[in-house]
Structure 1
Amino acid sequence: MRAVVVTAFGGPEVVEVVETAVPEPGAGQVRIKVAASALNPVDAGVRQGVFGGAGERLGLGWDIAGTVDAVGDGGEGPWGAGDSVVALAVGPVKALGAHAEYVVVDAGAVAAAPRTVDLVHAATLPLNALAAEQALELLELAPGQSLLVTGASGAVGGFAIQLAARRGVSVTGLARAWDEEFVRSLGAADFVSGGLGEGRRFDAVLDAAVLGEAALEGVRDGGVYVGAIPGANPASVRGVRTTAIGVIADGARLAELVRLVDEGVLTLRVAETYALDEASKAHARLAEGGVRGRLVLVP
């Protein structure tokens, strides 16, 4: 099968498509024939060596949408060959990722695919929606409390706005001025651009744009800051609790997010699609910036 890997760190030019053996599912695992897989900033980080793994062959891709192809011993659960599913292939340092024709994951990472969208759109859900959901769990906000989401027009930020607004949280989105209409359409009660506004503070900040200390200044004394990169959150000041998302695979939680897609609560956005053999080109487009929605690889 074909798979996207890097064997050296650098720009989009180091991304390779190689022939490799089809992986076999072990006990408690399922193999999925990949129909689509989103390209995320974490993949660029792997490519650049942010997460280590020098000298190894590293597979790229976290998001999976496709059909169950085989199951290992004890991995069946509700899954059978031909089932349409979504899943998350967790971890930046792995030999094979979701940017491949087949991928093996733990059965507990799998959920039935949405019924109301195609698999290309479904591929934009797992990583970013789970990140947003798990960030909100860390924030522990009650209805009526205030939340600032930086990077509000992005994938994690957009999902976070929709999920937080559904919980009754008062959300303010921070993004470029031209994204205001879109951010408000997601459920943001307020919008800011170009800065947090002098003296303005919130019960919590979800820093999806990785602004660091600048975003921390937007948290009230004793509030909460959640960052998007584990270990990169700024030090606590003024009694603010600071932490970061460490996304974990969770098929049950993913199933709930799928339900919200089918109910029209969550919006899935595809910017462009690329053939698997065009993975390097997709990385180059991601590096250019200004992408609204996800770039999706289609084997």
Structure 2
Amino acid sequence: MRAVVVRTFGGPEVVEVVDAELPEPGARQVRIRVAAASLNPVDAGVRSGVFGGAGKTIGLGWDVAGTVDAVGVASAWSVGDEVVALDYGMAKPLGTHAEYVVVDTDAVALAPASVDAVHAATLPLNALTAVGALDLLALSPGQSLLVTGGAGAVGGFAVELAARRGLKVAALVREEDEEFVRSLGGTRFAGGAETFDGVLDAAVLGPRALALVRDGGVYTGVIPQAWPGSERGVRTDAVEVGADGARLAELVRAVDAGELTLRVADTFSLADASTAHARLAEGGLRGRLVLVP
């Protein structure tokens, strides 16, 4: 099968499409025939060596939508099931940017019935990150939340999920994105000296975002071990996403209920993975790039 890997670190030019052995599922695992797999900033980080793994062949891709193709012993899934999953891992030999991927059975959820596989592939990593960050913030209905990067992939999900929790959601976005974020449930936009009960720093602004938290409030970032230190009694931490099929199933139900908006910026063939990485590096995307085998 074809798979996207890096064997040395660098820019988009180091991304390769290689022939790899078809992986076989073990106990409590499934093999998914990939229909679509989104490209995330973490893939660029892996590609450039941020997470280590020098000297190894590293497979790229965390998100997947596709069809169960084979099952191991004690799997809860059946061949033919249409699913989505998160394949967590920084330096794994194969990722979801491939024709087939093997994942643990408890990382899998039935795919949304209301969208195609390309859109479904944008859900797992970003939505699980958003809901995990909101859980860490632990704000109560009626409290105020600022989401930096509220028009981005994680930020957009966070705005929608926070509004459903009864929070007063503000966003830090470009002026041209205000109408879109308002459609997600954002009620106002940050400016001036206003502070908030909590800040979800999806744009990774660090100290700048921390300054927007009221004394005694809470800050949550999206990069593990990379959040600013506490000050003014503000609790600071960051979400570390993990594969969670049960939680993913809840998010799928929200998609089918029209409560979460999935956005695709563009699609690329697997053979054009390097070009997709170059487009990601250009920035300015609203929605995810998706690879289609």
TM-score of the aligned structures, taking structure 1 as reference length: 0.97
Q: Map residues 44-55 of structure 1 onto 2, 5 A cutoff.
A: 44-55=44-55
5+ long unaligned stretches in structure 2: none
Partners of 1:184 and 1:191 within 8 A in 2: no
2:61 maps to what in 1?
Answer: 61
Indicate conservation of the 8 Å contact 1:205/1:226, yes or no.
yes
Structure-1 separation of matches of 2:4 and 2:286: 23
Q: Aligned residue for 1:188?
A: 186
| Amino acid in the other structure paired with 2:20 | T
Amino acid at match of 1:284: A
Residue 215 of structure 1 is matched in structure 2 by 209
Match for residue 16 of structure 1?
16
Write the deviation string for residues 201-238 of structure 1: whole angstroms up to 9, x where unpaired. 10000000000000000111111110010011000101
Cα distance in 2, alignment partners of residues 202 and 273 from structure 1: 37
> Which amino acid letter does the alignment assign opposite residue 102 of structure 2?
V
1:175 and 1:43 map into 2 onto residues whose CA distance is 24
Residue pairs, 1:33-48, within 5 angstroms: 33-48=33-48
From 218, 223, 230, give the equivalent of 1:229. Answer: 223
Letter matched to residue 39 of structure 2: L
Please identify runs of 4+ aligned residues in structure 1 that moved more than 4 A: none
C-alpha separation in 1, matches of 2:217 and 2:105: 37
1:130-183 C-alpha deviation (Å, 9 max, x unpaired): 000100100001100000000100000000000000010000011111101001
CA distance in 1, matches of 2:121, 2:73: 26
Task: Please give the alpha-carbon distance, in whole angstroms, between the structure 2 residues aligned to 1:298 and 1:157.
Answer: 24
Structure-1 residue corresponding to 2:261: 267
CA contact (8 A) 1:31 1:69 kept: yes
**Residue aligning to 2:157:** 159
Partner residue, 2:242: 248
TM-score scaled by length of structure 2: 0.99
- Find out whether 1:197 has 2:192 as its counterpart: yes
Cα deviation for residue 92 of structure 1 reads 1.6
Offset at residue 258 of structure 1 (A): 0.3
Corresponding pairs, count: 293
Cα offset for 1:45? 0.5
Name the aligned partner's letter for residue 85 of structure 1: V
User: Following the alignment from structure 2 to structure 1, what is the Cα–Cα distance between the partners of residues 284 and 41?
Assistant: 13
- Once residues 91 and 227 of structure 2 are traced to their aligned partners in structure 1, the CA distance between those partners, rounded to angstroms, is 21
Deviations 1:186-211 (Å, cap 9, x if unpaired)?
A: 0001113xxx422x110000000000
**Matches of 1:197 and 1:2 in 2, distance apart?**
51
Give 1:138's match in structure 2, choosing from 136, 140, 145. 136
Residue type of the alignment partner of 2:292: V
Q: Report sequence identity in percent.
A: 71
Alpha-carbon distance between aligned partners in 2 of 1:106 and 1:160, rounded to the nearest angstrom? 26
The answer as to 2:104 corresponding to 1:106 is yes
Q: Distance in 2 between matches of 1:22 and 1:134?
A: 33
SS for the counterpart of 2:5 is: strand
Q: In 1, Cα distance between the equivalents of 2:160 and 2:229? A: 28
Which whole-Å CA distance do the structure 1 matches of 2:192 and 2:44 have between them? 32
